[in-house]
Amino acid sequence: MVVAEPDQLAEAFYFEGHLRMYNAAFHRLGQRIDEAMATDAPAGGEPGIALGPKLAERLETAGLEVLDTSVHAASALKPRSFGRLAKLLRRYPLALTRAAGLPPDTEECLALEAAVERLERDIPADRVGLCGRVMPMFLSVGVKP
C-alpha cells in the first residue's frame, strides 16, 4: 500500500521569493487550525492539517510493516499576476479555518488578512512573477506482515 499525506503546517507561499510575513502568519493560523481539529478527534484519530509526519506511525498502528517513507515537495509555482495569488492567499486559509470550525475573525485570521493587505500595498495586482506554494508531501509504503 502506498499512502501520501501532506504537512500543511510546513506549507510556504512565494511571489518572486518567500513571502515571509504572510508565511509566518499562515503558520500561526495553521497551528490554531491543527489544534482545533485535534480537539474534536476520536480516540486514535488525530486529524489535523499535518498528517504527513505521523504517516508511518499510523500505518504501523494499522498493522502494516512500513518499508519506506520519503518526503517530496508538492508545488504549484508558475508565472502569474500578484492579484491572482492574493485571491488564493485569502481564500485558502479561510477554507481551512471553516473546515476546523473556527470563526473567520480569530486573531490569527486577522493577522493573515493584514499580511495580505500589506502585500497588496507593496505589489501591484498586475505584476507578474513566479508564484505559488510548496508543501511537503510524505509518502509511505506499507505491506501486511
pLDDT digits (tens, 9 = 90+) for 105-125: 999 999 999 999 999 999 999
Q: Averaged over 13-33, what is the pLDDT? A: 95
Predicted TM-score (pTM) of the model is 0.86
> Which of 143, 124, 133 has the alpha carbon at shortest distance from 93?
133
Helix ranges (H only) for the chain are: 20-39, 55-61, 82-99, 107-122
Cβ proximity of 39 and 112 under 8 Å:
no
Segment holding 79, helix H or strand E: strand 65-81
Domain extent listing, the chain: 2-143
